[in-house]
């Protein structure tokens, strides 16, 4: 069993990058204060690689303990024990990676402040433009001694961000997600029964039929709330005169948090 899986998100389907102004407006707007950093490259640095090996070794040990702990236990007890072990894994993950992530975040903030950037995003979402500060951040992380944080907070930015995990917990999105997940689980049970005794060609046709049902249900149940979330993000972003909005997971430094306003709009 693998620890610390991410929970599927409804709002994760919402656009990761929401342009709030037309192309002409973007072309005439100065966005030279936006930078980006390759977080994958930071993760390959020696301290992070060593930490990953340490955590992987802990996971293997924990998995063995988990298998011993659930031997002969009921399904309910197994689920309870899994939650306990997953909490242990999360705590260990924070213990091992916390100081490294804090150092990296401070280095990013220091470099951004030195270069007059109002926001830094992850390189993975950048197609064109922006200032690459990855090497500067790496140099600062690798320097001896502590990394000194910037004195000033980042200036106001025309780049917004939204925590889609929080959007998932709003009543409408959570209800839609729960309804869709229940449908998918029920459909999976039906599929297993329908596949028994079928030829390979019949199995392929059956799977395709069930996938079509799942797709139809997704459009019926999830798409309306996804559209509503996108519309709420757009309204809030325009009211705050933002150029675009990214997912909070892609925002590294700075930016304008519009999550509370979007959550309120979705109530």
- The reply to whether 3 falls in a domain is no
In a domain, 235, yes or no: yes
- Whether 267 and 173 have beta carbons less than 8 Å apart is answered as no
How much is the average pLDDT of 74-83? 90
**pLDDT at 147 > cutoff 50:** yes
Q: How far is CA 263 from CA 9, 151, 231, 241, in A?
A: 15, 31, 12, 18
- Is residue 168 domain-shared with residue 150, that is, in the same domain? no
pLDDT at 3 over 50: no
Question: In this predicted structure, what is the pLDDT of residue 21?
Answer: 41
How do residues 107-135 score in pLDDT, each as one tens digit? 999 999 999 999 999 999 888 889 999 99
Encode burial over 71-97: b for 16+ CB neighbours within 10 A, e otherwise: eeeeeeebeeeeeebbeebeebbeebb
Q: What is the pTM of this model?
A: 0.74
Counted domains in the chain: 2
Angle at 154 between CA 150 and CA 156, to 5 degrees: 165
Domain of 243, CATH number, reads 3.30.910
Higher pLDDT, residue 152 or 208 = 208
* Residues 195 and 254 occupy one common structural domain: yes
Domain's final residue, options 128, 157, 186: 157
Beta-carbon neighbour count of residue 234 at 10 Å?
A: 17
pLDDT band for position 31 (50/70/90)?
Answer: low
What 3-state class would DSSP assign to 241?
A: coil
Query: What confidence tens digit (pLDDT) does each residue in 32-47 have?
Result: 789 999 999 999 999 9
pLDDT bracket for residue 28 (50, 70, 90): very low
**d(Cα 157, Cα 124) in Å, to the nearest integer?**
20
3-state secondary structure 162-200: ECHHHHHCCHHHHHHHHHHHHHHHHHHHHHHHHHCCCCH
253 and 164 together in one domain? yes
Question: Same domain, yes or no, for 202 and 152?
Answer: no
Q: Give per-residue pLDDT as tens, 53-64.
A: 999 999 999 999
Residues 83-107 pLDDT 10s: 999 999 999 999 999 999 999 999 9
Q: Which range of residues forms the domain containing residue 66?
A: 30-157
157, 185, 207 - which closes a domain: 157
Q: Which of 122, 157, 192 is the endpoint of a domain?
A: 157
Identify the CATH number of the domain in which residue 60 sits.
3.30.910.20
111 and 186 share a domain? Answer: no
Q: Is pLDDT above 90 for 155?
A: no
Q: Is residue 156 pLDDT above 90, yes or no?
A: no
In a domain, 143, yes or no: yes
Q: What percent of the chain has pLDDT over 70?
A: 88
In a domain, 7, yes or no: no
pLDDT at 108: 96
């Amino acid at each position: 069993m693998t620890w610390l899986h991410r929970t599927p998100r409804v709002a994760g389907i919402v656009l990761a990058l929401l342009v709030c102004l037309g192309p002409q407006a973007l072309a005439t707007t100065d966005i030279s204060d936006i930078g980006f950093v390759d977080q994958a490259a930071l993760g390959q640095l020696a301290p992070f690689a060593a930490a990953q090996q340490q955590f992987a070794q802990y996971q293997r040990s924990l998995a063995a303990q988990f298998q011993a702990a659930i031997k002969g236990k009921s399904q309910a007890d197994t689920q309870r024990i899994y939650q306990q072990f997953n909490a242990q894994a999360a705590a260990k993950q924070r213990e091992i990676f916390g100081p490294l992530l804090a150092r990296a975040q401070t280095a990013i903030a220091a470099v951004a402040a030195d270069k007059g950037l109002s926001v830094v995003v992850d390189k993975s979402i950048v197609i064109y433009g922006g200032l690459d500060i990855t090497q500067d951040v790496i140099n600062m992380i690798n320097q001896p001694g502590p990394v000194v944080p910037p004195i000033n907070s980042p200036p106001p930015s025309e780049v917004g961000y939204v925590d889609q995990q929080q959007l998932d917990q709003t009543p409408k999105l959570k209800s839609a997600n729960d309804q869709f997940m229940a449908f998918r689980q029920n459909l999976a049970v039906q599929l297993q029964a329908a596949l028994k005794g079928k030829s390979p060609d019949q199995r392929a046709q059956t799977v395709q039929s069930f996938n079509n049902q799942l797709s139809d249900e997704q459009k019926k149940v999830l798409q309306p709330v996804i559209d509503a979330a996108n519309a709420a993000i757009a309204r809030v972003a325009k009211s705050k005169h933002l150029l675009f909005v990214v997912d909070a997971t892609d925002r590294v430094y700075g930016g304008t948090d519009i999550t509370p306003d979007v959550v309120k709009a979705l109530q």
